[in-house]
Structure 1
Amino acid sequence: MNILVIRRDNIGDLICTLPMLRQIRLQYPQARLHVLVNSYNAPVLHGLDYIDQVHVYTKAKHREPGQSLPGVYWHKLMTFLRLRRARLDIAIAASGGFNKRAVAFARQAGARRIVSFAPDQGAVPAYLTDPVAPPPLHTHEAERMRLLLSTLGPLPAQLPPPRVQVMEDERQALLNRYPELNAGQPVIGCHLSARRPANRWTQAKWVALIHRLADRGFKVALFWSPGASDDPRHPGDDELAQAIVGATPAEAVIPVHTTHLRALMAGQACCQALVLSDGGHMHLAAAQGKPLVAFFGDTDSQRWHPVGTEYTLLQPPNGQVSEIDVDEVEQALVSLLDRTASPS
């Protein structure tokens, strides 16, 4: 049996799909499991040996400098020709609801059966051979993926936790650049960036938290999205990180400048716990089993909270992360560390 899972969204979406992928392998050990992803989220899958083949296409908005638009579309065409040659039995449009583009990809790949959530309204398209009833509004994304498996056989009561794989050479390469991460002092990761304005904590509060963590004997590994804030393609937080480093004790802060996803994952692997906002980086850390203090602004925390790890979720009633108090974060982190401490 040849099975294709299509996940064309962001990093967190793909991580919430990992339990489904692992369950397919457990349920169909002899099947050939293909996964179609985009170049932005593909690094998440590196090292996951239960996937037989990863097919990667590039979205036009993600093309690199010097990469032509015709070249992007040509590569995408070749990807779908390879998928058609695989003679797919089943394609799963792994989106949290009916996604017309993902279903179109399944059709272009030539799958005999197409699994997807049905549209919320209107008739089910005739080409959707295995429709699944739309889930309730606040259903977690990983649970939505479990429900899509209902067309493949008995529905498992629960799925394995999402897990990513950080290679030892990746971790060692990062430690070679930042040996302070392995100097014997406990390290707390703080990730400054958040794509949604409502999910952003303030510079002053990050500075205050870092001072308090230093007073408690922690090193702080500082992570952020690289780049200038006015970069039209990939706006980053270089200026914010520089300002925070300049306002905190040099001996307490390790500014970990990561330019690609795998380096960020290796940096997270060196942390005892992390403080960060909802986003792909949060799900990456959760998929390494790292304890988290997670900020949520106006996003649906029932649908997107971390899975597979211990966490404390902080979400103000007004949906603005900037309103979260430093005392609340410090207390949440201390309590989380006590809760997850290994018995002596």
Structure 2
Amino acid sequence: MRVLVRTPNWLGDTVMALPALLALRSHFADEVLVAAAPSAFAPLLSAAAAVDETVLLSREHSGRRGRNIEAAQLRSGRFDLAVLLPNSFGSAWVARRAGIVERWGYATRARGWLLTRAVPRPHRRSHLHQGDEYLGLLRKLGIESKPVATTIAAPPWMLARARRLLEDAGWDGERPLIGMAPGAAYGHAKRWLPDRYARVAGRLADTQGAVVVLVGDGHDRDTGYAIESSLVAAGGGGTVAGVVNLIGRTDLSQLIGLLAVLRALISSDSGAMHLAAALGVPVAAIFGPTDDRLTAPVGRHVVLTHNVWCRPCFLRDCPIDHRCMTGISEDRVFQAVTDQLLLPAAGGRT
């Protein structure tokens, strides 16, 4: 039998779904397990090593045309069963259109009639962690699933690519690396203040002898530039040693390799946060408008929040004064990451 699991569409959600993938691997041990995922996530699935094959879904087209292309891709795989982790109507429609006989998932967004086994989704007020929601789906489908540590290992070729990038940027191969992921795909409201990132970066470089590495995708470049500008201003107009800006300069395989060699990461609620935690890197996670009960990283981490009446609001942009983020001080973040550095390093990091 050929079993398809449709992964989530966001990087962080896919990391949180890895325990569910492992549970499916165990349950369908004698079957062919295939993941259908956005093509950009191929390095993550390779590092996780939970499936036999991967169908890489193109995101070149959206709407009906995109769904028809995806259905054609899945139809060619001749799957007997699809387990749908996304709750979207489109994912169920595509599975049915692809001719997959058995289609299992949560009965959400009026899609129950498209599924052959539809189970009720937990109520939002249950505040169930996203990873537990995926595992809960499997349990309701009769698949044994237990919460497990989400761990992945960066293969040697990913580590080598990351080290080359770091060395080209001036890293000597010896100084400890601390990462900062200041961006967020969801919206500006999830981002902590660039000038505070800058001050924490300067303090870490001065007190820990560390190289602070800024990471993120191309959409986060402006945040990276703002941090650099604050660093230059604090340095009296000169450059600041010990800070490397790699935002927009890594693909996913390089990012995995880079995160794997960090001693710690400071991050907003983002895909990089979840990746680092899954790689065993201690994370200081800064949460503002989103709910850490739902999407906190799984692994060694500390969550930093400022409790105000309006959080979690889940808004992309704050309509008032961004108090959930401005209330998190530079000192709290600095202390959180230095406390993490006192813990024994994992995976041979120095």
Question: Which category of TM-score, normalised to the shorter sequence, fits these structures?
Answer: 0.7 to 0.9
Q: CA RMSD in A?
A: 2.9
Task: For structure 2, list consecutive stretches of 5 or more residues without a partner in the other structure.
Answer: 312-323
Counterpart of 1:55 in 2: which secondary structure? strand
- The CA deviation string for residues 105-125 of structure 1, in whole angstroms up to 9 with x for no partner, is 2212322222111238x7x73
The 3-state SS of whatever aligns with 2:342 is: helix
**Shift in CA distance, 266/132, structure 1 to aligned 2, threshold 3 Å:** same
TM-score by length of 1: 0.83
Structure 1 residues 284-314: Cα deviation after superposition (integer angstroms, max 9, x where no partner): 111111110001111121110001x110101
8 A contact 2:83–2:104 mirrored in 1: yes
Shift of 1:185: 2.3
Per the alignment, residue 320 of structure 2 pairs with none
User: What aligned pairs does 1:247-326 form with structure 2 within 5 A after superposition?
Assistant: 247=233, 250-257=240-247, 258-307=249-298, 309-318=299-308, 319=311, 320-326=324-330
Counterpart of 1:323 in structure 2: which amino acid? G
Q: Post-superposition shift, 1:209?
A: 0.6
Q: Matches of 2:151 and 2:97 in 1, distance apart?
A: 30
8 Å contact 1:11–1:40 — kept in the other structure? no
Aligned partners of 1:50, 1:7: CA distance in 2, in Å?
A: 12
Distance change >3 Å, CA 225–CA 334, structure 1 → 2: closer
Report the counterpart of residue 207 of structure 2 in structure 1.
216
Identity, in percent, stands at 24
Partner of 1:79: 73
CA distance in 2, matches of 1:26, 1:139: 23
Aligned to 1:65: none
> Which one of the candidate residues 104, 107, 128 is aligned to 1:115?
104
Q: Distance in 1 between matches of 2:300 and 2:119?
A: 31
After TM superposition, give the deviation of residue 170 of structure 1 in Å.
2.1
Decide whether aligned partners of structure 1 residues 170 and 155 sit closer, same or farther in structure 2, where only a CA change above 3 A counts.
closer
The correspondence of residues 161-172 of structure 1 with structure 2, limited to 5 A, is 161-172=149-160
Secondary structure of 1:59 counterpart: coil
For the pair 1:160 / 2:160, whether they are aligned, the reply is no
Give distance in 2, aligned partners of 1:111 and 1:99.
17
Deviations along 1:114-159, one digit per CA (max 9) or x if unpaired, are: 2111238x7x734422222211321111101111112553533x23
Aligned partner of residue 211 in structure 1, secondary structure? helix
Shift of 1:341: 5.2
1:332 to 331, 336, 343: 336
Say how many residue pairs are matched.
323
Residue 45 of structure 1 and its aligned partner are, at CA, apart by 1.2
Runs of 5+ consecutive residues of structure 1 not aligned to the other structure: 63-68, 230-234
- Aligned match for 1:176, one of 137, 144, 164: 164
Counterparts of 1:2 and 1:140, CA distance in 2: 29
Q: How far apart are the structure 1 equivalents of 2:228 and 2:195?
A: 13
